[in-house]
Structure 1
Amino acid sequence: MNIKPSHVDIGVLFGEKTIFTVPKYQRGYAWDDESVADFISDVSVCYSRRVNNNCMEHFLGGVLSIKSDIDGVANAVRYQLVDGQQRITTLTLLAFVLCENLEELAALVEDDDKDIVLRIEHHLLRLRKAFIVHDQVVNRIVTPANVLTLSKKDEAHFRALLAGRDPIAVIDSHVKLSASLMQLKKYISSVVVEVDDLSNKLDVLERFQDVLLIDFSVLHMVAENKPDAYRLFQVINDRGVSLTDGDLLRVKTLELLEGHGVEQDAAELIWDDILSDKPSRTYDYLQWIYESYAFKRARSGALADVYMEQFFGRINHELVNKKDARFILSQLEKIRSDVCTCRSIIKGEWVFDDQRPVTPWDRTRLRSLIVDLGHTLCVPLLLAISDSGHVKFRDVVLMLERSFYRYKIICNEHVTPLKSLYYAESQIIRADTKSYKVQSLRDKLNDLLAQRAPMANFINGLLGLHYQAKTGGNKNIKHLLMMLDSYGGWYCNGANGNPACLEGNRILDFGETSIEHIYPRNAKAADIDPEMEERKNSIGNLTLLDPEINSSADNKPFNDKRDIFKKSSIALNVKIGAKRVWNVKSSTNYERDLLAMAKLIFVA
């Protein structure tokens, strides 16, 4: 990697013939109010020190660029900003605010006060040439050149601001640009207004100019080529705003499409959609998608690089033809489609249209798996199987819910073997999606369960479940009881074949359904059974009830609740209601029945 760093003050960085450009499809201006407030705080500290004749250097961090000469212009340099546009843009806005204040001061100066007029004109010329626009002789023709050109989405708004206009903000980066300028104006004006004499006001503005040109410095890292620059780009953060792998991928793919306008414009819209979520969420989506196709996790800090290799590796980056451009666009469409699928999966929303034989109950299992059990580790596998149709997708979801509950929730086994299994199965699915048989996954899951979470361990884990009074501490119990209820019909009919819910249109809402103690949790003195007190919070004394029913049954003795149980739509409760009494023996038998059901249900 050939990077040439130099520590320079801003006055040197913004030389007389220097031009900065932000890549056309780079992300927009991103500094929020807090970031600009921090910048202003730095300005204020340096300014105060100059007032006290104790000036100081203030380091603003690193700026990374790619250097190139400007055709037809002697000794002129163009820097393409790979990282640092937030700082460079904000420094330019500060220079513009100083120019505005100098112009306002010039309008107040008397004609005979030539010294002040000359000073103002000198500073205005220096700031405008360094930060706003300067003349270049291009092939013997004097041509104005903008010192800083922003990305395609921000340039027109930025140019309007520097022209003193008040443009309408169309997108978030426009809002941030206008807000940053307003903050800077407000700050500089608040300092200038504190002094009355014109000469003193000019002194104030000169101090601010010295802060900008002399006190502020950066580490300017200059790369000779894009690969080196973008490799370093991945490990650098803009002040206050983290650079993301999504941002880098956007730049890399759109630059590949230079010269292919139609495809490039379409790709830009695709990236706008892909990157519309919070950066952390987008990173999750991109990581899961990569895992689903590469069958491994991207190494730390290298997601953008491995994406380019995985999805665009066949492209000659030095010579992209029309066929290549269309391929790049098709790959981006695929990535966007998978991002949309991830968005649905992570919310537990079924990713297919409602169609048989998948039932309403089947569709709720995705939410149970991802949201209630929190099993996002399986998203890459679900992405792979989603291309096989709604029936296979359903079968995999059902298997994963039962297996994960047993393997991790109850037996608390390490997820690494499970993750490896998912990668291996994703590879099999991707190799031949149409003919893939879900029995392949079922066999592997059952083998893993037998090795890592054997049935004896699972049963012991269930026996260790106890109701807790604190809110949210009983999800595992509720999940168990809901699953036993859902698969109860299949179990009672002989438990033939793979576990299945026979009442697909009947759905219990996890959030609304509540756990009920059969023998009351807080029995009245006259109803206390000392033996049951010892086991009242175990699964042998717990069931499910509708919240409204639960309220009416709360803490009543069993005899007062028998009719409620008999009339319940939950099969477990009907059996409970058939009991004459509820004591240790009946509770033990009930527990034995639950465990017998669990043994047959919680397999892949």
Structure 2
Amino acid sequence: MRAQEITFLKLVQGEKQFQVPLYQRTYSWGKDQLKRLWEDVCELVDQHLAGDSLAPHFLGSVVLAPGQIQAGGVQRWLVVDGQQRLTTLMLAFTALRDHLREIGDLRGVDRVHKQILVNEYQEDLDHYRLLPTQADREAYNACVQSRAEAGGSDNIGAAYRFFRGALAEGRETGDERWIATVEIVLKDLLSIVEITAESGDNVYRIFESINNTGVGLSQSDLLRNYVFMLLPKRGERVYQELWLPMQQSLGPKNLELLVWLDLVVRGNHKTKQSDIYREQQKRLQPLAGDEDALQHEITQLAERGRRFLRIVEPGREPSPALRAVLERLASWGGQTHYPLALHLLDLVDAGSTTPDDAAQALLYVESYLVRRLICQTPTTGLNRIFMEAPKELETDRAAAEAVRRFLSGRRRRWPSDEELREAIRSKPFYWSGRPPQRSYILRRLEESYRPTEPVDFAKASLTVEHVLPQRPAPEWFDQLADETEPSQTPQELHDLLVHTLGNLTLTGDNGKLSNHPFERKQQILESSALRMNLEIASAQRWGKAEITARADRLAQRAVDLWPGPITGAKPSGEEWPGWAELRAALVAMPSGTWTTYGDVAELIGSHPVPVGTYLGANPTLVGAYRVLTAEGRISASFRWADGSDRQPPQDLLTSEGVRFDSAGRAHDAQRLTAAELATLLGRDVARPVSDDPLPEGEDSAAAERFRTQLRGHWPEAFSGVLAALDFWRAQGGHITYGRHEETSCFPMLDAGTSRQSHLLWPVGIYPVSGTVEVVFQYLKSRSPFDDTEQRRELLRRLNEIDGIDLPEAKLELRPSFPVQVFAEHSDEICQVLDWFVGVAALDLARRD
């Protein structure tokens, strides 16, 4: 085998084709990997635009083996390893080409297409420079060919849509040189090691050896070995007295994190965690031969390790004020604040600032994180901001003032009081951040009442409760009807209010509260130990006016708890962040789907009218034509710019796979709700815990409640559902139930190995609303259904049954079909369940 470092452009140019063998997995990169790659690209773009000297960014290796050679034809290469990054970059170039077409750069379109994507003078399959596995080929070719269905619901389509969105958003914020620089970076500044096997090599054996290696040395292991190689005389003593105690107190993961943080706090803020060893080696190399200096470095690292322990275990911090804010940040979760917190503890221990000043500085950090979450500010670049902080803080000011001034920088997006108040009124807080972070904010708001007998939150089992229910009974809608605006339905008003902070509280009685009328909820909340619940219980009714008034009261508490930036107000001329959310949501929509102005308004915390106005003024936004009226019609106010050669919106949607009836209404099954849009954006929009499977298995009381509800609401489906559940048990599964008043039902299968539990369930059955949800959203993260083809096969088999019509575009979501289908097609559903169990069993045999 031979190896050479090469740019991506040089790798793919020429009459050649890269074929991904069938024994490789389908394309599997998700949003996290794509974001990391794009952040690296954007960093190189920024450096290039600033005129910095740049070295190519190393992406990894691609292992190739020669394929069949035909006289005068294409040189074929089998991709033994590296297909994920190779496919990803090809998809980035398809998105770049289509972006150039969008902005009218036809020469750029031609250049990218012919230089990177295709063999111009070849036909049929030889035309494509990359041939993915057969399962991915159709989706990939749709992107290369710019077909209407490009950007579907599989991983190929999701990656294409990701890059389309990233390029469109970059165009909004960058100058005219930005897109040209992106092309330069992708072609010439991404470095790949091309490893080429010889003819006759056993390609599959090479693949096996690459992908079945043992656990390698960590970055901290490599550093330790290097350092003690430079300490031949005192290495054993330094190891026993300094390194080993540090290693034992921190553990492997935290030790590696410390070694990275050590570099960041020293000002090397661009260091990636994969580059720790190389960067530390570069820093320590000049000390080779000076064992005193090396011992001093390890002593400093060990001291910093003890400070780091005070961050991850705040109980070790001696200062009460500093300990309290470190505990709050630990409760918040994540590691974003670590570099700045460690820097502040360095200052405290050096006597450069006081514990109280450092505590105030960390309060600003807490406020910055909380306000951004409430306002749903994108987290892009957040880690970089905190990595830059130790180097960028002004040193001639008190630490707290320096931190506040730093975080108040214009491009660091610390929401003002005005933005915070508006977000609390209108944003769907229930979809913000992670569940523990939402509970943390509500807990802090409750604590701000300063009750004489505070609740012990560590022991209390509290969950977030919607006062206005997510699935309200008819009497709730009767009340909301009095407060609707002209042309607004009670359901639309409900959707705009239900997930806002003004409608949410904490309770230990979630199951009891359910979707009862407000009078019944009042009786339960009156016995609560939480002051915020007593305040809700004192209201006479619960509708728009009460929810908005409570939101304003909570907003004032939030402003007092979490101080804002120095400016205190939103900078003039700055775009409202909701429009960036809107653009991201449109890009996230797979081809073959549509949504409504109301759904988008609910998602971003706006109103359908301004959403319609914005889209009407910006019809060329990626996916703008997919936003329709509540009836599923093209809005009369939406039209392309004069002179545009684009198809009429309905024709374009039809070509993507959206079905319309004779009256011009889009098929409702293909509509994406606000919750589904939020899910596609990566927000935590799972059903409440009370709706999802309970771990303890079958419960006789819950089972009887489910049967009673099903018989009472859908008697014609009753026997069919029970027959299917009995069939499931006969296949080795069991049934479990939810805790909500509508007692949901889940056929569960433990497909775990002897070493690890692995629960699977294909559907959730809701006996009051009469829906059967197919839980693709959950299956996507569970083997073997993390393979798109397996989820697509489940969808195909279900869709063969009369009455079931699940859109392929929802393979990442939880589409549903009516429970009445069980009335006549229970046997056919059992056949699908039998297939599901068989696929899971084969996967279990492979893993065990």
Q: The TM-score by the shorter chain falls in which range? A: 0.3 to 0.5
Over alpha carbons, which structure has the higher Rg? 1
- TM-score by length of structure 1 reads 0.46
- TM-score by length of structure 2 reads 0.34
